[in-house]
DNA sequence: AGAAATTTGTCCGTATGTATC
DNA sequence: AGATACATACGGACAAATTTC
């Protein structure tokens, strides 16, 4: 097969299909996707194309890939948990030296930290923290 | 050259060099970068590697690429030099009392921390950190 | 207007390095 | 240490958009 990518490129249709499986729960959050090798077999595409599809999902924060391990589906953000308890919080913290360097601000300057805890069947799966500069300071 | 990517991969050092040229004004905002072909000649790297380096700059909103035209440097607001800190990183850290309580693990137990830095026009917008328990421990 | 050249986009196959299990 | 799985890199081929002649 040369390169017949009329309409939509192949890596995109593959990404769409994988996204569907994740969002439908066919690939449960927290579980590994099939290996790249398995995906090349299933979609009859080269490994490079499979990796491009997965890269698209990564940029959507739908999956996380770890070197020798595999690619893992991430718990969805706007999914209301069964217990309904929103494990979210927002607070202000002073920047430590690490964050200060990244943001190019002074150590001790105030940052906004938003925290989100995702659970599955009661156990904590992930803790996500997003830091940013207060709007007032910009 | 086979594939000796000790320390830093090739595409990243190339991306760093191109970023330096853009931020130093050597490649003026609004002007086209050298063609992929020219870059392969200069850096003695394959086209795929060059494209990966450019893709990195794209995700930093430092350049935009148009199909039959080329890759164009973006007008940017000055800002501190990128200190070479990777936009994505993963590391293992011991749980502090806060995280230990959330995960219901011992203080000092190892957690995986993944960090992602999102930028817009060169400036840091958000720092996202995701913590989770190593799979080996589950 | 049209053809050719240029340039980026997609895809394949292979080989080797590196991290994890 | 061995097997498995992802990461990097090369080279070639063809497609599609743009520019040039």
Q: What is the mean pLDDT of chain B?
A: 83
Question: d(Cα B65, Cα A40) in Å, to the nearest integer?
Answer: 28
Burial of A7 (0-12, 13-18, 19+ CB in 10 A): exposed
* pLDDT tens digits, B93-102: 888 888 888 8
Nearest CA in chain A to B104: A124
Asked if the Cβ of residue A51 lies within 7 A of any atom of strand D, the reply is yes
pTM: 0.69
**Count of Cβ atoms closer than 10 Å to residue A65 Cβ:** 16
Chain A environment of B99 (Cβ under 8 Å):
127
Selection from B65, B70, B72, B69 nearest residue B28 by Cα:
B72
**Cβ <8 Å between A127 and B99:** yes
The whole-number pLDDT of residue A69 equals 95
Nearest CA in chain B to A105: B80
Residue A113 near residue A129 (C-beta atoms within 8 A): yes
What residues are paired with A73 via a beta bridge?
Answer: A63
**Cβ <8 Å between B125 and A117:** no
* pLDDT tens digits, A74-116: 976 544 333 333 356 777 788 888 888 888 888 888 887 878 7
Residues 6 or more apart in contact with residue A38 via CB below 8 angstroms: none
From the list A104, A127, A130, which residue is nearest B126 (CB)?
A130
What residues are paired with A84 via a beta bridge?
Answer: none
* pLDDT tens digits, A21-40: 999 999 999 999 999 999 99
DSSP class of A32? B
């Amino acid at each position: 097969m040369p390169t017949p990518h009329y309409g939509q490129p192949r890596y995109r249709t593959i990404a769409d299909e994988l996204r569907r499986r994740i969002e439908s729960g066919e690939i449960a959050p927290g579980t590994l996707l099939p290996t790249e090798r398995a995906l090349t077999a299933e979609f009859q595409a080269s490994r490079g194309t499979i990796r491009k599809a997965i890269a698209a999902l990564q940029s959507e924060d739908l999956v996380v890939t770890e070197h020798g391990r595999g690619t893992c589906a991430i718990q969805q953000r706007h999914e209301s948990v069964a217990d309904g308890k929103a494990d979210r919080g927002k607070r202000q913290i002073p920047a430590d030296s690490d964050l200060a360097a990244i943001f190019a601000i002074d150590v001790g300057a105030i940052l906004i930290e938003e925290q989100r805890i995702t659970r599955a069947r009661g156990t904590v799966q992930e803790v996500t923290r997003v830091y940013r500069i207060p709007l007032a300071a910009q």
